[in-house]
Amino acid sequence: MDNPSWSNPSGSTAPAASNAAVPTGNAVATTTGGAGVSGKSAQRLLSVYNLATASLMAATGFIIIVDLILNRKRDGVDPSNTIEGFYMILLSLLLGSYEILWWMPLPWLNKSLRKNFGFMYHMWGKTAYLVFAACLFFSLLDSKAKWPNTTYWLAIASGIVLGAGALVHVMVLCKYKDLANSYTSPTVGLDTV
């Protein structure tokens, strides 16, 4: 009885297609039909976008905390607002830490993230994460009077950018399936596990 193809890590029994993926380091080089976009280029573009999004998320959380501290004497501080600001920073650290692995091989970080946040290593998991974070940013804005004006609009902008990133990921997953199938996660440091 033959073993299923997924149980054989050295390769599959399926014949190679004309636009089959060829592993090259951390990313996969493949072409999409006639589009001419390689899987490696698409991964890099998504990674740069996600790093910029993580930076915006961290800036939003930091500014919320600073606004709350500076306006404490005038308005009083709601502890939930401070916790929400820290939560935004933590979410940005998770996304930024994962995406930085494409640019800087950090074996200790890769092992830790893969062990604790394995969902980030798949397109659907990362897409769900982006949708969750975008919804969280919008749900924090239950009342405009609760936030200073600049913080309110910065949180809305962060939610829109996160939502747009999630839509791009969904589009890649649904329309450009060959790019989604060629997606590989960082593997540096896993050979020593």
**How far is Cα 136 from Cα 44, in angstroms, rounded to an integer?**
26
* pTM score over 0.75: no
Q: Which of 52-56, 99-103, 136-140 has the lowest mean pLDDT?
A: 136-140
**How far is Cα 32 from Cα 176, in angstroms, rounded to an integer?**
8
* pLDDT greater than 60 at residue 11: no
What number of H helices and E strands is found in the chain?
7, 2
Instruction: Identify the pLDDT of residue 123.
Output: 87
Q: Where are the domains of the chain?
A: 35-184
* pLDDT greater than 90 at residue 145: no
Q: What percent of the chain has pLDDT over 70?
A: 67
pLDDT greater at residue 70 or residue 54: 54
With the CA atoms of 154, 159, 160 and 166 taken in that order, what torsion angle do they form, in degrees rounded to the nearest 10?
150
Kindly state the DSSP code that residue 23 receives in the 8-state scheme.
E
pLDDT greater at residue 19 or residue 129: 129
Q: What is the mean pLDDT of the chain?
A: 76
30 pLDDT tier (thresholds 50, 70, 90): very low
What secondary structure, in 3-state letters, does 107-119 show? HHHHHHHHHHCHH
pLDDT in tens, 36-49: 566 678 788 888 99
Task: Say how many C-beta atoms besides its own lie within 10 A of residue 184's C-beta.
Answer: 17
pLDDT greater at residue 3 or residue 6: 3
Positive/negative CA dihedral, 4, 126, 26, 32: positive
Instruction: Identify the pLDDT of residue 12.
Output: 42
**How far is Cα 168 from Cα 170, in angstroms, rounded to an integer?**
5
Kindly state the DSSP code that residue 29 receives in the 8-state scheme.
E
**How far is Cα 168 from Cα 134, in angstroms, rounded to an integer?**
13
**How far is Cα 33 from Cα 37, in angstroms, rounded to an integer?**
9
Q: Which of 2-6, 12-16, 47-51 has the lowest mean pLDDT?
A: 12-16
End-to-end Cα distance, the chain: 31
Locate 85 and state its tokens: 């600001």
